[in-house]
Amino acid sequence: MTGSDTAEWFEPDWFETGRKAVWPPYARFEAEALPVVAASGVRLTLADGRELIDGVANWWSACHGHGHPAIKAAVSAQLDRFPHLMFAGLAHESAYRLAERLTRLVPGDFTRVFFTESGSVSVEVGLKIALQYAMITGRRFATRFLAFRGGYHGDTLATMPLADPEEGMHAMYAGVFNPALLADLPEDEATTAALDRLLADSAREIAAVVVEPLVQGAGGMKMHAPETLATIRRLCDRHGVLLILDEIFTGFGRTGTMFAFEQAGVVPDILCLSKALSGGTLPLAATLARRPIAEAFERDHPAAVLMHGPTYMANALACAAANASLDLFEAEPRLEQAARIEAQLKAELEPCCALPGVVDVRVKGAIGVVQMDRQTDALRHRFPPLGAWIRPFRDILYLTPSLTIGEGDLSRLTAAIRRVAAS
């Protein structure tokens, strides 16, 4: 179907009337939105027939592009059987196969997988696991968490306090909830010593340390070296504190390896996954626990039952999509594609360094960032006329394309970034 074809059958009533009822995310009611009538590969077709190259992969999730036929076929086959079953007392093949595959795929001795519907909730479950593990193991005072400045772990009530109260998007809630202990990432001798002291002083009350490995996504695409993550792991071990890694953004090839923590040679105690887990098709998230954590829940203890159970956990359609997505990672060269994207982003974004107003240019895997000396929200409207769907935020213009994007399409995106950054 061509762009003109989709424009012909588009009925504008749903858009004009619905926009008066929809509450948009991270925006005021009058925020603009572009009506999309089709999406395929890396392209979005608008109601007026225009095509935009998706530069952010459906909010970082569509690792294989939009509407991959293998994922569509898997979801269709599952739909023919049933779309969903309650996961309390009933079992289905898609979820059980996916859980077993994830325990084999993720490096380390992960033995249990808890499914939810969103990244925020997967972190919430990780926090609950850490809290109940502390109860089971006799650490009843361990009720707090330690997170890092510049981080973001979700919008739910338990995850908001993990964000930076000054830089984060949840500053308006400061003082409402018990905040997490906050530290700078240990990137040098001074910050390493400071984190060591904080853990030494507070380990008794800390249930877990939470961090996004290598790239702090929604906090501004801030990047740190694998050695920083290795330092955090070492200090957690020294002070007997669990480590939770939030790989919701970085997981499934985005940083150049299947999981970002592999580049640091470490393994977390608890791992949170979402976004690209289902190939960006259906809501799905997973929280994985290593063997010692899972085995603690086998004890005869009142806290040894995880008190969480979403109605749509382990949704059969989403799990079928996730299994198909993992099949694609096995059959197609996604990590090699990420390496190619990284090289191209470095070459084509580097000229931005010479532009007035550009503070930094940084690339990690299939993530390219141009940091400006000002807020970038006002620049959003400049990208669609250039044939690009790019959604800048804070002070950055960034690209997180699907791993399947072609060289020509990626060059159109980087050209749009260069043009807007220069304007």
Specify whether 152 is catalytic.
yes
* pLDDT of amino acid 12: 62
DSSP state of 217: T
* pLDDT of amino acid 174: 72
Q: One fold for both 3-64+333-422 and 69-331?
A: no
- Indicate which residue of 26, 96, 109, 201 is catalytic: 26
Rounded Cα gap, residues 205 and 264, in angstroms: 27
- Indicate which residue of 54, 133, 222, 246 is catalytic: 246
Q: φ and ψ at 245, to 5 degrees?
A: -105, 130
pLDDT mean over 290-305: 97
Instruction: Please state, for a pLDDT cut of 70, what percent of the chain lies above it.
Output: 96
pLDDT mean over 365-371: 98
* pLDDT of amino acid 1: 43
Specify whether 222 is catalytic.
no
Q: φ and ψ at 357, to 5 degrees?
A: 90, -10
pLDDT tens for residues 53-68? Answer: 999 999 999 999 999 9
* pLDDT of amino acid 83: 98
Planar angle of CA 148, 27, 57, nearest 5 degrees: 70
- Indicate which residue of 275, 364, 398, 409 is catalytic: 275
Instruction: Please state, for a pLDDT cut of 90, what percent of the chain lies above it.
Output: 92
Planar angle of CA 162, 299, 118, nearest 5 degrees: 35
Confidence of residue 280 (pLDDT cuts 50, 70, 90): very high
Mean pLDDT value across the chain:
95
What pTM value is reported for the model?
Answer: 0.95
CB neighbour list of residue 285: distance below 8 Å, 6 or more residues apart: 115, 116, 117, 118, 119, 121, 122, 248, 272, 273, 274, 277
Rounded Cα gap, residues 268 and 245, in angstroms: 6
- Indicate which residue of 133, 152, 222, 364 is catalytic: 152
Q: Let me know how long the chain is.
A: 423
* pLDDT of amino acid 5: 52
Architecture of domain 69-331: 3-Layer(aba) Sandwich (3.40)
* pLDDT of amino acid 92: 98
pLDDT tens for residues 118-152? Answer: 999 999 999 999 999 999 999 999 999 999 999 99
Rounded Cα gap, residues 93 and 89, in angstroms: 14
pLDDT tens for residues 336-351? Answer: 999 999 999 999 999 9
pLDDT tens for residues 61-97? Answer: 999 999 999 999 999 999 999 999 999 999 999 999 9
Specify whether 275 is catalytic.
yes
Q: How many CB atoms lie within 10 A of CB 116?
A: 25
Spans of all domains in the chain: 3-64+333-422, 69-331
CATH of domain 3-64+333-422: 3.90.1150.10
* Lowest mean pLDDT, pick from 165-169, 305-309, 391-395, 404-408: 165-169
pLDDT tens for residues 169-205? Answer: 667 777 677 789 999 999 999 999 999 999 999 999 9
Residue 116 has pLDDT above 60, yes or no: yes
- Asked if 47 and 12 touch (Cβ cutoff 8 Å), the reply is yes
